[in-house]
Structure 1
């Protein structure tokens, strides 16, 4: 489980969010299930949680009323950028000497 400012996300939910953030959207449940490598019902449940946390939004597909489009919100993008920043910091090499002393 990944914890972030009031949001407890599972790895599947985080993977779904990061996929939405890093690949051009909007996305469908089918496309996300293929990208994440899991079944559509699991993606639907992940999107439910992400939508409740206001990290993604669903909208009607204007070209196909049966389909729903999923895209990240400003809050979702900000959370993903925070992960990108912390990854750069954590992989940028050893800490300065004064941190170790």
Structure 2
């Protein structure tokens, strides 16, 4: 019985650990290129993340209807847009180029 209890404890601990780590790559943020002081353009994967934040301050809203958040993030780093809603893990990995303007949570929270 002790062996089963210990095995169950180890298993539950492993599941809790994986569960606490797995959402991180999927957290969304509004990111802006560091060299932009007054962002005017924002790229959104439309309609998937269109209502995740207030975009009324942007004069140029680019609604991407096909593609991925990863592709939008690459284009953001390349200078195609001033800001975009992308994965937090990408923004963090490119902290030399991108600032996280707003944390938006997971796609399932929206």
Q: Does TM, normalized by the shorter one, top 0.5? A: no
Q: TM-score, normalised by structure 2?
A: 0.24
The two structures have a TM-score, normalised by structure 1, of 0.25
Larger strand percent: 2
Structure with bigger helix share is 1
Higher-Rg member (1/2): 2
Which one has more relative contact order, counting CA pairs under 8 Å at least 6 apart?
Answer: 2
